[in-house]
Amino acid sequence: MAQIRQLYREPSAMEPLLPEARRGELAELTCEILRKAGQLSGQIPALIVRKRIAQLVREMSSYYSNLIEGHKTFPRDIERALQHDYSTNPAKRANQHLTRAHIEVEKLMMDRLEAEPKLSIHSLSFLCWIHREFYQRLPEELHFSTDRQGKPYRIEPGVPRSFEVEVGSHQPPHYGAVKRFTDRFETFYGDHHILPTDQLVALAAAHHRLAWIHPFGDGNGRVTRLHSHAWLVRCKIDSFGLWTLSAASRKKRRNTTGV
């Protein structure tokens, strides 16, 4: 364990940040996705209709984001949460709060991306902003998680972790090196050298690397999915909010695992 922790003090441990194999094939697939995204956008030209559908898709995204984390929240419970109608069952109520927070933060993020076109979505400050906005919308009892020994610890909204964690068999970088890893993350993925035909490949790689860095005590999966969605918006591949990365990720996971 000590050797692993020492290894993960330097950002070189997460290299390469962009795969080199099958670049031509992946570029062709990216072009195909770009074409289909444009077709999807063209099928619903009316702005008011697109906005309404985007809201429904946002609710669906919160459902799948919860499901990826192992929490199943029925659509009717999501609708009730949006009306501040929460279950008396603690587990169901917690899931409702999580879905509502996801919906609100995604909408807030979309508005910010539109208002700040030069915003660095790969910066630690942006990731901390997502994390803070998410957790500030949760009740106090959901600001806690537990380590492998079952010992509870507090999650500070928008604050990178100041302790070591273990995620299954993965040992994330040492907490003292998180800033170095996220700086490298921003420098690489925020660089204009990434070609348009490599954007989706870079997005997928960044999605993995950000989850691997695990910059926060908890909530990393949700922050990572929201960050990836922000990148889709920047690439203009979200089709004005008409499809969701969380749903696609969940369906892919079910196809490969049978779950």
**195-234 confidence digits (pLDDT tens):** 888 988 999 999 999 999 999 999 999 999 999 999 998 8
220-234 and 47-68 helices cross at what angle (nearest 10)? 150
> Mean pLDDT over all residues of the chain?
87
The confidence score (pLDDT) of residue 141 equals: 95
49 SS3 class: helix
Report the percent of the chain where pLDDT is more than 70: 88
Distance CA(221)–CA(227), nearest Å, equals 10
Average pLDDT over residues 111-135: 97
In the chain, domain spans: 15-257
Q: pLDDT tens digits for 150-169? A: 889 999 999 999 999 888 88
* Fold (topology level) of 15-257: Fic-like fold (1.10.3290)
Of 242 and 109, the one with more pLDDT: 109
Range 106-116 burial, b when 16+ CB lie within 10 A, else e: beebbebbeee
The confidence score (pLDDT) of residue 259 equals: 32
Distance CA(229)–CA(96), nearest Å, equals 21
Residue corresponding to tokens 């949460």: 81
Is the confidence at residue 254, as pLDDT, over 90? Answer: no
Helices (H), the chain: 2-7, 23-43, 47-68, 75-82, 90-115, 124-136, 178-189, 199-213, 220-234, 245-257
The confidence score (pLDDT) of residue 37 equals: 72
The confidence score (pLDDT) of residue 55 equals: 84
The confidence score (pLDDT) of residue 147 equals: 80
The confidence score (pLDDT) of residue 238 equals: 66
Of 238 and 137, the one with more pLDDT: 137
Task: Mean pLDDT check: name the lowest of 32-41, 121-130, 190-199, 222-231.
Answer: 32-41
pTM summary value = 0.87
Of 126 and 248, the one with more pLDDT: 126
* pLDDT band at 257; cut points 50, 70, 90: very low
The answer to whether the beta carbons of residues 200 and 237 sit under 8 Å apart is yes
- Dihedral of alpha carbons 197, 62, 122, 179, sign: negative
120 phi and psi, to 5 degrees? Answer: -80, 105
Is the confidence at residue 30, as pLDDT, over 90? Answer: no
Q: pLDDT tens digits for 130-156? A: 999 999 999 999 999 988 788 899 999
The confidence score (pLDDT) of residue 243 equals: 66
Of 139 and 247, the one with more pLDDT: 139
Instruction: Determine the Cα angle at 116 with ends 182 and 160, to 5°.
Output: 25
H or E element at residue 146: strand 144-146
Of 225 and 246, the one with more pLDDT: 225
Average pLDDT over residues 4-30: 82
Average pLDDT over residues 254-258: 42
The confidence score (pLDDT) of residue 246 equals: 64
